[in-house]
């Protein structure tokens, strides 16, 4: 934990953008791994010109997380709105707007479904990337108040016998990726006690440059215990539960849309999260027990964008604001800058919204 708030503020820096040219703005985005286009940087510049000040590094990083494709679906959302989002199904209790879909099962129960990909992390670190993919999809189901029951894993790789000399620079051989991904999924699932009951593996040369690692989870929840990924009532307290915060996973969401190249292993490996399944297993049970006792007014997992996204998304969904004391966050190591604490994607963390008397 940071020694004092005053000490923490010394690590917050102003980023000069008000008088920056388009070239300078793009340089800032590239050097800080923000993943923002020149047009997006110009929009941010315009906002702070109205404010009459430069942004802090924390604010600039927050924009990068929230505006990433991973978090806001800025290119795919219009397509989804015309197709998937427009589907009306009477059995859907809660879909699209939450971390996982909740669908009617019977009079008393609903089942919860989630599916996502963890492609780029798995391309750099197949074991760790696949394992944390499982960890993330489990959290998505748990934060709806559901007990995870089973996992699935549709996987897509290049041919296992693909010529070594034809693999693009900076890309790992399909055989290496395949073995690591399967091991990562199996090991993480075993440690948390959730079986992988279905899946598929498809091999084609079109996946040599970028493997697809999809993971899914199904769970069950009592209808009167469905949790929502939002802040509850005015005056409620944010409680961060689970693992400590470190430098692992920083810029994970911006890296997710980056093109893999020969430098990726060196410059992007910090964006790959580090899983800790032994922490996840008791964390899941604790969150579900707390929810069962009616002590929560909201719950959301720490995924892409870390604290930056979970705190703001829960507050926004609840129509509220929030004060976050990042100096109280438990850290894995000393020396993290405030912006690193804000966007770290360290695993096995959950955000709870709780009434003050229930803390």
Per residue in 48-58, pLDDT (tens digit) is 999 999 999 99
**Are 102 and 218 contained in the same domain?**
yes
Whether residue 230 is contained in a domain is answered as no
When pLDDT is averaged across residues 129-147 and rounded to a whole number, the result is 96
**Are β-strands 101-104 and 92-94 bridged in parallel, bridged antiparallel, or unpaired?**
antiparallel
Band (322; pLDDT cuts 50, 70, 90): very high
Give the pLDDT of residue 271: 65
Band (174; pLDDT cuts 50, 70, 90): very high
Domain ends where: 225, 253, 280?
Answer: 225
Spot the catalytic one: 13, 47, 118, 316.
Answer: 118
Q: Rounded to 5 degrees, what are φ and ψ at 119?
A: -70, -60
Cβ contact 70:256 at 8 Å: yes
When pLDDT is averaged across residues 190-217 and rounded to a whole number, the result is 96
Q: 3-state class of 290 per DSSP?
A: helix
**Are 58 and 168 contained in the same domain?**
no
> How many Å apart are CA 207 and CA 336, to the nearest integer?
37
Q: Is the pLDDT of residue 266 over 80?
A: no
For residue 37, the enclosing domain spans 13-67
Extended strands (E) in the chain: 92-94, 101-104, 109-117, 147-157, 196-203, 212-222, 237-242, 298-301, 349-354
Q: Burial letters for 94-106: b for 16+ Cβ neighbours within 10 Å, e otherwise?
A: bbeebbbbbbeee
pLDDT, one tens digit per residue, over 28-74 is 999 998 999 999 999 999 999 999 999 999 999 999 999 988 888 88
When pLDDT is averaged across residues 82-94 and rounded to a whole number, the result is 87
**Are 60 and 134 contained in the same domain?**
no
Q: Is the pLDDT of residue 260 over 70?
A: no
- Look at 259 and 151; give whichever has higher pLDDT: 151
Q: Provide the token pair at 349.
A: 């963390």
CATH number for the domain harbouring residue 321 = 3.90.650.10
**Are 99 and 221 contained in the same domain?**
yes
**Are 126 and 52 contained in the same domain?**
no
**Are 171 and 50 contained in the same domain?**
no
Spot the catalytic one: 70, 173, 251, 316.
Answer: 70
- Look at 190 and 303; give whichever has higher pLDDT: 190
**Are β-strands 212-222 and 237-242 bridged in parallel, bridged antiparallel, or unpaired?**
unpaired
Residue whose tokens read 């075993």 = 190
Whether residue 339 is contained in a domain is answered as yes
When pLDDT is averaged across residues 168-194 and rounded to a whole number, the result is 95
Band (231; pLDDT cuts 50, 70, 90): very high
Whether residue 26 is contained in a domain is answered as yes
CATH number for the domain harbouring residue 175 = 3.30.1330.10
**Are β-strands 196-203 and 147-157 bridged in parallel, bridged antiparallel, or unpaired?**
parallel
Is 13 noted as a catalytic residue in this protein? no
What percent of the chain stands above pLDDT 70? 92
Q: Is the pLDDT of residue 5 over 90?
A: no
- Nearest Cα neighbor of 306 from 230, 253, 238 is 253
Give the total number of structural domains in the chain. Answer: 3
Residue 218 burial (CB count, 10 A): 21
Is 251 noted as a catalytic residue in this protein? no
- Look at 111 and 10; give whichever has higher pLDDT: 111
When pLDDT is averaged across residues 330-343 and rounded to a whole number, the result is 92
Residue 1 burial (CB count, 10 A): 12
Domain ends where: 199, 225, 251?
Answer: 225
Q: Is the pLDDT of residue 20 over 90?
A: yes
> How many Å apart are CA 356 and CA 234, to the nearest integer?
10
**Are 95 and 218 contained in the same domain?**
yes
Band (253; pLDDT cuts 50, 70, 90): low
> How many Å apart are CA 65 and CA 115, to the nearest integer?
21
Give the pLDDT of residue 81: 86
**Are β-strands 349-354 and 237-242 bridged in parallel, bridged antiparallel, or unpaired?**
antiparallel
Q: 3-state class of 357 per DSSP?
A: helix
Instruction: Kindly tell me the burial class for residue 280, based on how many C-beta atoms sit within 10 Å of its own C-beta (0-12, 13-18, 19 or more).
Output: buried
Q: Is the pLDDT of residue 6 over 60?
A: yes
Q: Provide the token pair at 246.
A: 């470190």
Q: Is the pLDDT of residue 257 over 70?
A: no
Cβ contact 358:320 at 8 Å: no
């Amino acid at each position: 934990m940071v020694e004092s708030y005053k000490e923490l503020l010394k690590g917050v820096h102003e980023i000069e953008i008000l008088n920056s040219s388009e070239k300078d703005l793009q340089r800032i985005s590239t050097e800080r791994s923000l993943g923002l286009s020149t047009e997006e940087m110009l929009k941010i510049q315009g906002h702070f010109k109205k404010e009459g000040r430069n942004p802090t590094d924390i604010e600039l990083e927050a924009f990068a997380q929230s505006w990433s494709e991973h978090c806001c679906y800025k290119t795919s959302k219009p397509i989804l709105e015309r197709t998937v989002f427009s589907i009306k199904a009477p059995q859907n209790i809660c879909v699209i707007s939450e971390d996982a879909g909740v669908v009617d099962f019977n009079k008393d129960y609903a089942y919860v479904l989630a599916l996502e990909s963890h492609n780029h992390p798995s391309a750099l670190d197949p074991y760790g990337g696949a394992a944390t993919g499982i960890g993330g999809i489990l959290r998505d189901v748990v934060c709806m108040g559901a007990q995870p029951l089973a996992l699935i894993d549709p996987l897509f790789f290049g041919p296992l016998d693909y010529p070594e000399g034809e693999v693009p620079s900076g890309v790992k051989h399909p055989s290496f990726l395949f073995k690591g991904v399967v091991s990562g999924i199996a090991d993480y699932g075993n440690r948390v006690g959730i079986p992988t009951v279905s899946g598929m593996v498809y091999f084609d040369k079109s996946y040599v440059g970028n493997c697809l690692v999809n993971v899914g989870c199904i769970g069950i929840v009592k209808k009167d215990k469905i949790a929502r990924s939002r802040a509850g009532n005015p005056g409620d307290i944010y409680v961060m539960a689970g693992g400590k915060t470190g430098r692992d996973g920083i810029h994970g969401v911006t890296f997710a849309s980056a093109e893999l190249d020969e430098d990726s292993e060196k410059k992007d490996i910090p964006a790959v999260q580090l899983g800790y399944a032994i922490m996840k297993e008791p964390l899941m049970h604790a969150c579900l027990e707390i929810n069962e006792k009616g002590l929560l007014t909201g719950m959301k997992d720490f995924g892409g964008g870390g604290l930056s996204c979970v705190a703001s998304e829960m507050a926004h969904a609840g129509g509220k604001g929030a004060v976050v004391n990042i100096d109280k966050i438990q850290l894995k190591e000393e020396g993290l800058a405030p912006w690193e604490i804000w966007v770290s994607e360290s695993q096995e963390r959950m955000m709870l919204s709780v009434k003050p008397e229930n803390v």
